[in-house]
Amino acid sequence: MTTSDTDRERAAGYRAAYDAQLRDRGFAPGAPGTERVGPVLRRTLPRQGGLILYRDLGGLDGEALDAFIAAQREYFAARGLPVEWKYHGHDLPADLPDRLTAAGFTPGERETVVIGEAADVAGPPGGPPLPEGVRLRDVTDRADFDRIGELAEAVWADDRGWLAPALEEMATGRDGDACVVTVAESLAGEVVSAAWARFHQGTDFASLWGGSTLPNWRGKGVYRALVAHRAALALARGFRYVQVDALETSRPILNRLGLVIAATTVPYVWQPAADDRGDGAVNPA
């Protein structure tokens, strides 16, 4: 078997585990605001909007699928909230993107689902070296979450007012999945990057999120160190895999760290008219 065949076999195995363990589950059983509706898991996220997750659509097709998509849209429309339908490139039917678009959903930026062995990604004890004058610190205080929100707004130049309360809620673990939030900060106390890991109970997976880094600190190994740190946390908690929905800016780094491409995903988002939005409704994360 060639190296490419081995890589394809490994990626296929990861995707099968991801489909079986994460996509059909989405959130810890009984997570607030989560309900099963036919083949999908529908969740309302405080201050953010809605999210539609699923492993597969159970054979829905044609007019029945169109009606089902419209029903999900109308559920959130009645609440003045946006909703994201998390589409994967291997989903069926093949014309699902066209049906979502016809229902008023708009595709966002494509992301790549990359997965790796936590032990390999973590590397040797202590992880990769950090730039001089930077340290990693796991945080639990709202003041630190507010600083992360300010960092994200500076990096992305948009409103991230929802982020600090969302991190605060996730860090409590009330939805059943533990979460660790980590900042990379300078000795002067400036947050230069931040990321978090979610540990999905009853699965082999920890998922990695965030990683926004100030422009003048990019290319110095900060993001790489944050990935290794969170992989080490996952390994210590008994999780085998780490998974990331990666943008093209971070995917090459993650590939070099040993995470392989398992799937692609595109967020299809429906937005209510401005006059119909509920208080505090923003794009889903």
For 239, counting Cβ atoms within 10 Å of its Cβ (0-12 exposed, 13-18 middle, 19+ buried), the class is buried
- The pLDDT of 261-267, averaged and rounded, is 97
Which domains can be identified in the chain, with CATH numbers?
Answer: 3-111 (no CATH), 115-263 (3.40.630.30)
Above 60 in pLDDT, residue 71?
A: yes
Q: Where are the beta strands (DSSP E) in 128-223?
A: 134-139, 178-186, 191-199, 205-213
C-alpha dist (Å) from residue 87 to 48, 54, 106, 144, 185? 18, 9, 12, 33, 35
The per-residue pLDDT for range 197-241, each reduced to its tens digit, is 999 999 999 999 999 999 999 999 999 999 999 999 999 999 999
**Residue 217: exposed, middle, or buried by beta-carbon count in 10 A (0-12, 13-18, 19+)?**
middle
pLDDT in tens, 135-185: 999 999 999 999 999 999 999 988 888 899 999 989 988 777 999 999 999
Please report, as a single letter, which amino acid is at residue 140.
Answer: T
Instruction: Give per-residue pLDDT as tens, 24-47.
Output: 775 555 677 889 999 999 989 766
Helix (H, G, I), strand (E, B) or coil at 266: strand
The confidence score (pLDDT) of residue 48 equals: 78
Residue 218 CB-density burial (10 A; 0-12 exposed, 13-18 middle, 19+ buried): middle
The distance of Cα 143 from the centroid of its chain, to the nearest Å, equals 23
pLDDT-based confidence at residue 5 (cuts at 50, 70, 90): confident
Burial 156-172 (b: 16+ CB within 10 A, else e): eeeebebbbbbbbbbbe
The fraction of the chain above a pLDDT of 70, given in percent, is 92
According to DSSP, the residues that pair with 42 across neighbouring strands are: 35, 52
Overall pTM > 0.85: yes
